[in-house]
Every structure is written in structure tokens, then in C-alpha cells.
Homo-oligomer: A and B are copies of this chain.
Amino acid sequence: MEFTEKQLQILEIAETLFAAKGFEGTSVRDIAEKAGINVAMISYYFGSKEKLLEALFKSRIGSVQVRMENLIKDQSLSPLQKINLLIDEYVERVLQHENFFKIMVTEQLITKNPSVLSSLKQLKLRNVELITQLIKEGQKKNMFRKKVDVVMMVNTMIGTVWQTTMNRDFYFELHPAPVGSTDSANTILIKRKLSIHIKALFKVILTHEA
């Protein structure tokens, strides 16, 4: 996935617009205008609006996998520590790329684009595989219980993070932050809350007998 500087700039603007108005709700003219370029440049650079979306997925998903892979190999950490790090990593990643996650969630339900769908499926598989491996390691060392439904566990993590992130405003209406607190301070708060919450849930799923 090699993209030029110009392409990356267009992708970034497309990302914010797709997140705010949806893929179908965003016109190529919207993107061109906000990027300060001519409409024709989108076809010129990406071929089509559809292929622009594919490029966005390839670009964003490609940059994810690396750090996770190294986690498994680390011998100095216990299985539970690894799981906890994985949770932190995931929470961090979603909140850092909120816009792309919006697009992922909304688009995976309605797109028929085979390239996008296969990117998503590959990502999901990788997630499950990775956690499965971590859990097996913990089971071998008798630190985790035997029967664990990995898919359900992943669903809880992804779902909770998703639901919390997308309803962040609602949360702060119910739990008003101190006046004058910045948006980024709130983000940190949400991150910590999510991390603690999910770690507690996972610990139970993994260690308590049913």
C-alpha cells in the first residue's frame, strides 16, 4: 500500500467526511472542496469514489497489526498481563482513530464492496486468532479456565469500546466533567474507565469457573 503525500491528504479528509456524513452521504465534490482540489483529481488519483474507500481501508488497516504480533512473543509477561496490554492497546487504537472506526462499523453493514468486506474479515480473523493464542498459553499454565468462548469475549471488548466511544457525549451529560476540562482530558478519562472496566470483565471470564 504505497500512497503519495497528496493521496494521503485526500484520504484523511475523506475519512473525516465519511465519518461525519457516511459514505453515501458524502459527495466527491464535498471531498474535493474541503481538500482544495478539483473534483477530477479524485478519479485521477484513485480511479473512483468506491476505490477511494477501498484505499482508505487498506491504508488504515495495514497500519494496525504490527505491535500486536510482538506481544505474543514476549516471554517476560504473564498471560494475564498480555491480555491486559492487549486491552490497553485496543482501547488506545480505537480512540486514536475514532473516525475510521465509525466508518468501519457503519460501512461493514451496508457495503457490498468485496475488497472492503475482505479487509474487514481478515482483520476480525486476526483478532480472534491472536487472542485465542494468548488464551491457550494461559490455559497451558493453568492460569485460565478451560472453556472460554473467545468470540464472545472479543465481542464484549469491541462492543463495549464501540458503544462507549460513540456515546461519549451522552456519558458526560450524565457524569458532568469539571467545568473547563478539555476534550482531550475527557478522552483520557474515557480510556482509563474503559481499560479498567474491560480488564475486570476479562479477568472474570478467564479465571472464574462458571
Contacts and interface: CB of A to CB of B under 8 A. Distances in A.
Interface string A167-196: 100110011000000000000000001100
Contact of A155 (B108, B149, B167, B205): B167
Contacts of A152: 160, 164, 193-194, 197
Nearest to A132: B174
6 contacts: A22-B22, A155-B160, A155-B167, A156-B201, A204-B204, A204-B208
Interface string A4-33: 000000000000000111101100000000
A15 to B, nearest CB: 14
Interface of A: 19-22, 24-25, 102, 105-106, 108-110, 121, 124, 128, 149, 151-152, 155-156, 158-164, 166-167, 170-171, 174-175, 193-194, 197, 200-201, 204-205, 208, 210
Interface centre among A21, A149, A156, A194 (most CB of B within 10 A): A156
Given A149-B193, A156-B201, A200-B204, 20 more contacts: A19-B109, A20-B110, A22-B106, A22-B110, A25-B110, A102-B109, A105-B106, A149-B197, A151-B170, A152-B194, A155-B160, A156-B156, A156-B159, A156-B163, A158-B159, A159-B160, A159-B162, A162-B162, A200-B210, A201-B204
A197 B204 CA distance: 11
Given A109-B106, A200-B204, A174 B151 contact: yes
